[in-house]
Amino acid sequence: MKDIDRIKELVKTLNYAAMKYYQEDTEIMSNFEYDKLYDELCKLEKDTGIVLSNSPTIKVGYEILSELPRERHESPMLSLDKTKDVDALVSWLGSNKGVISWKMDGLTVVLTYENGELVKAVTRGNGEIGEVITGNAKMFVNIPHRIGYKGKLIIRGEAVIRYSDFNRINDAITDVSAKYKNPRNLCSGSVRQLNNKITKERNVNFFAFNLVAGDDVDLGNSFNGQLDWLESQGFEVVEHYLTDGADLKDKVKMFSEKISGNDFPSDGLVLVLDDIAYGRSLGRTAKFPRDSMAFKWADEEAVTHLTDICWSASRTGLINPVAVFEPVELEGTTVSRASIHNVSIVRSLELGIGDEIAVYKANMIIPQISKNLTRSGSVEIPKSCPVCGGETEIRNEEGVETLYCTNEYCPAKKLKSFGHFVSRNAMNIDGLSESTLEKFIDSGYLDNFDDIYHLDRYKEEITGMEGFGDKSYAKLIEAVDISRKTTVARLLNGLGIQGVGEANAKVIARYFKNDLDKIINAGYDELVEIDGIGKIMAGDIVRYFENKENCDTIEKLRQELEFQIEKNTAEQIFEGMTFVVTGSLNHYDNRDNLKAEIESLGGKVAGSVSSKTSYLINNDVNSQSSKNKKARSLNVPVISEEDYIKLLS
């Protein structure tokens, strides 16, 4: 075990040194010291036969697939029977010994090794048939590519994305609608990518939890020994403990106390009989194996009284309701607030100040309202924004009602506007994160978009800020200067005109042959003639350019920018076709990437389904969503990503 720990330590140290040297021009160790540690790592890898996926001694090439092949599992992967009652768990274990561990909330993956090499990785799929993701699995940050054991080995484990990486990825997405809902969904999409470079960027982790088959491996008939042996081969194994009926309640309590500090998602615990032979002799039901049991946390509820609803304005103009109630103890902590998410939930709960409500912590972490016992329904939806006092409006998006501030100049929106302007599909200025923009706006460095191109006025102040120095300031100014060479479509997208996103910006720029003056002076009648630009959007565009302040900003920006013409040599196989994309994606990094591909091939991507729509892309082709229903009523084909990929060929 010492050798494995040293391998992990060396990999971490060498990778950090390389990152500092190549990315930050900082040398934290001499070449002599680096080579010495590198040679030590090579020797340990040779002696143990263990090579981790992120070892600096190997390089794995990226690959792009047209689709993921499917394969039947050698043995079916069943679900687990479950309980929320600790006493029932103790009763199930009886006089036996068991192994208790986290029930990780990710995507189950089966790995196969032959002659010490990882040769295959398959997702759980429907339990009978999964998708082959071998190239992607080799990108998991902690998975061994080679192990010391040379026989055929099949193991199961959970691929997960840590909360810290989930938050990092979501923070980089400026479009709220494109943000990922939870780490599990993000992990599923990351593991099942067609481009394993994206999998690598997502920092997927793998935790082994079961040895399915191993030629001539003597585990002493112990499931706990099985996990210990997997750890000796270099696998990161789920946290687990040997337990019995007398100790089990204490172990469950110990796990429950760790949840709030976990950086990985979990949705309960798993208890497995330690005696492997006895467990197998019990057989299985039609749905569950009899040698294991899942434990789900029983949601602890508390009854309290609602004292207020706070309406919190976001940077996007979205105004979120937050319930404030008399403090109660839940899962060992005091809570007094819970997000209600949207207007629809406020109305469905019929909330009113003073109502008696029941609250709980979802997965023992996130406070939620479970029910309203009084249902007075006296809460009024605010007609003015809590930040600027501007008029609000309720928008119905696919059956969900949300509240928005309509004031274009609401201070809460300013940060969002700048975030959109510098985003990848607009001006593409690297280094201006939301937190940095917030600091610059609060310090008075940024008021209008053109101020970005004069940040050099504040060099002394910026380099003195926490997190900034001469190097980071120089990189920021370099990124700003690179963005000066741009396209009319990028600028048009970055301005944030209502309804004009990346796709429509390209359509408008192409129609007016990239002549910004013609775009600014275009009339309503001319705009509605453009394919895909409807009456509402045409009106919004005209009103935007009728605003003198907007035109002044554009004029100032023109003094800073040099417009270029984008060249597109790809065959225009989607010319004249319009797509709508909805739902989560499995094969593309995000909707922006899919939209960009469609547009590069001559197609257009719209936000809503109409009679002009050629295809609606939705992986849940049979859902009853409003877009699916509308597509069917208009005889518009609803296709999955796999169907779309077939169109490419």
Catalytic positions: 103
Q: What single-letter amino acid sits at 48?
A: T
Q: What single-letter amino acid sits at 421?
A: F
Burial of residue 488, with CB atoms counted within 10 A of its CB: 0-12 exposed, 13-18 middle, 19 or more buried: buried
- Strand order of the β-sheet with 205-214 is 51-52, 144-146, 117-123, 107-114, 153-160, 205-214
CA-CA distance, 67 to 131, in Å (whole number)? 10
Q: No. of H helices and E strands in the chain?
A: 24, 26
The DSSP secondary structure of 158-186, one letter per residue, reads: EEE--HHHHHHHHHT---GGGS-S-HHHH
Residues in the chain: 649
CB 421 within 8 A of CB 449: yes
DSSP 3-state of 258: helix
User: What does the block give as tokens for 33?
Assistant: 């010291």
With vertex at residue 286, the alpha carbon angle to CA 283 and CA 292, rounded to the nearest 5 degrees, is 50
C-alpha dihedral over 364, 367, 372, 375, to 10 degrees?
Answer: -170
User: What does the block give as tokens for 267?
Assistant: 């949705």
CB 496 within 8 A of CB 417: yes
CB 587 within 8 A of CB 619: no
- Strand order of the β-sheet with 578-581 is 604-606, 578-581, 615-617, 638-639
Per DSSP bridges, beta strands 356-362 and 333-339 are unpaired
CB 617 within 8 A of CB 578: no
Token pair 């509402």: residue: 536
